Amino acid sequence: MIKKRTAFIGAIVLIIVTSLFTTVISNMVAIQFNERVYISKNEYERLVAINEKFNKVLYLKKYIEDNYYQPVDEKVFEDGILKGLFEALGDPYSEYMTKSEFDSFMTHTHGTYGGIGIIVTPGEDGYITVVSPIEDTPGERAGIISGDKIIKVNDKEVTGDKLDEAVAIMKGKPGTKVDITILRPNKKEPLTFTIEREEIRLKTVKSRVIDNDIGYLRITMFDDKTSEDFKKHLKDLESKNIKGLIIDLRNNPGGSLKECVEIADELLGKQTIVYTKDRAGNKEYMKSDAKKVDYPFAILVNKGSASASEILTGAVKDTKAGVIIGTTTFGKGLVQAVRELTDGTGFKLTISQYYTPNGEYIHGKGIEPNIVVELPEELKGKVEMTDEEDLQLQKAIEVLRGKI
């Protein structure tokens, strides 16, 4: 099975490359005489080579159609060719999406959907890994936590290379139920959760005043409205004369780089927030202006804090603008471009790596907090904690009290 898959992916790459070369060759100079076209020897040899590769693709396609034990829909080949181009990269964050998959992706990022409210990613171990549950959703209330490995959805076994299929099954009409079976590192046996789907509305920012005069601002993910909502909540907190601020990024899986940078711009003063580097070594720096808050602040993080969350965390840590409290973050240091194609399909492609202001590349490592505070085992994954139970929050209050 692995050999067949490898061969097919190779063929996929060849057909795409072939189309690219054909485009180039069609632009070459040729001389037409009556019904004949004359080209150079080099051009002829190149065309012959391309033809041989294309014939290989056609041969494999025909062989599959004739010999596979079930009929194969033409659309399966079309999608497989395009998906295989991205799968050949071996990058779980780069993928081609069919129209329905792309619609689902954009809805999840910008709107509402029926589901259980968890952020998942293909893990390097082949499992579907939970990055984090979205706050106040069925998945979180059921007890699913960051690091869980999903092995079954209903009765269907799922793996990281079939992430979209698994997500499609997890989504559904609000009020219906789905069974999620997971592996958890500290449990010997798989755990199964029966979860009722709800309409998931992505409210990414919440705030309140705690301990009389300390603002608490929770960011659950970075979508295209997060920075706008952040500014509104921050202004409201400041109108209540807060003397310190806690920004909670725990279990925030990331999202829009632009929105994250906008928020950092409100906090840091004139600083480098992050820079990216592409494969050619070109660097792009994102910087904040002179605006900054005039009170101390802390950021709470954990293993579920990923991607854009880590950009904000890294900027604050490296510039010493605030203090980072909690546990080591997820470790995703790659930037994806998302593009929609004219037929409604789309893709994600990793185009660069990002680095913290001090040049740290955190992919696969994460960011260690200034102050490490572990939650007791019995509180990890708990849906709701009181402020008194939350040792990471209490440490942040203690640190800010020493600075106010």
**Which pLDDT score is estimated for 55?**
85
Q: Is the pLDDT of residue 121 over 90?
A: no
Res 342: pLDDT: 95
Give which of 255, 253, 254, 308 is closest to 286, Cα–Cα. 308
Query: 180 versus 106: which is more confidently predicted?
Result: 180
Is the pLDDT confidence value at 27 over 50? no
Catalytic residue among 94, 227, 288, 307: 307
pLDDT at 95: 95
Q: Which one-letter DSSP state was computed for residue 127?
A: S
Give, in order, the Cα–Cα distances in Å from 365 to each of 106, 306, 329, 330, 332.
Answer: 29, 11, 8, 7, 8
The C-alpha atoms of residue 162 and residue 183 are separated, in whole angstroms, by 17
**What was the pLDDT predicted at 180?**
96
Q: Is 225 a catalytic residue?
A: no
One-letter amino acid identity for 229? D
Share of the chain above pLDDT 70, in %: 90
Reported confidence tier of residue 223, pLDDT bands at 50, 70, 90: confident
Q: Structure pTM?
A: 0.67
Q: What does the alpha-carbon distance between residue 268 and residue 183 come to, in Å, rounded to a whole number?
A: 40
Find the angle CA(64)-CA(70)-CA(72) to the nearest 5 degrees: 60
The catalytic position among 83, 332, 348, 395 is 332
Per-residue confidence at 280, pLDDT binned at 50, 70, 90? very high
Averaged pLDDT, 123-148: 90
What pLDDT is attached to residue 38?
74
- 123 has pLDDT over 90: no
pLDDT in tens, 350-377: 999 999 999 999 999 999 999 999 998 8
Single out the catalytic residue among 318, 348, 352, 390: 318
Q: Can you give the pLDDT at residue 66? A: 92
Spatial distance between the Cα atoms of 350 and 95, rounded to a whole number of angstroms: 9
Rounded CA separation 96/84 (Å): 8
Domain ranges of the chain: 2-87, 113-200, 205-401
How would residue 6 be classed by pLDDT, with cut points 50, 70 and 90? very low
Mean pLDDT of 250-258: 92
The mean pLDDT value for 246-273 works out to: 94
Q: Is the pLDDT score of 109 beyond 80?
A: no
Residue 164: per-residue pLDDT: 82
What is the distance between the alpha carbons of residues 156 and 299, in angstroms, rounded to a whole number? Answer: 39
User: What is the residue-averaged pLDDT of the chain?
Assistant: 88
Judge whether residue 11 has pLDDT over 70.
no
Q: How many Cβ atoms from other residues are within 10 Å of residue 280's Cβ?
A: 7
Residue 23 — φ and ψ, nearest 5°?
-60, -45
Q: How far is CA 39 from CA 23, 24, 27, 45, in A?
A: 16, 14, 12, 10
332 classed as catalytic: yes
Is residue 3 scored above 70 in pLDDT? no
The per-residue pLDDT for range 285-298, each reduced to its tens digit, is 999 998 899 999 99
CATH number corresponding to 113-200: 2.30.42.10
**Over 90: is that where the pLDDT of 152 sits?**
yes
Helix (H), strand (E) at residue 65:
helix 41-67
Taking the CA atoms of 159, 279, 85 and 5 in sequence, report the sign of the dihedral they define: negative
Is the predicted pLDDT of residue 4 greater than 60, yes or no? Answer: no
* Model pLDDT, residue 200: 85
The third-level CATH classification (topology) of the domain covering 205-401 is: 2-enoyl-CoA Hydratase; Chain A, domain 1 (3.90.226)
| pLDDT, position 314 | 98
Over 70: is that where the pLDDT of 7 sits? Answer: no
* Residue 52, token pair as written in the block: 């041989």
Average pLDDT (12-16) is 43
For 304-352, write each residue's pLDDT tens digit.
Answer: 999 999 999 999 999 999 999 999 999 999 999 999 999 999 999 999 9
* Token output for 21: 């070369």
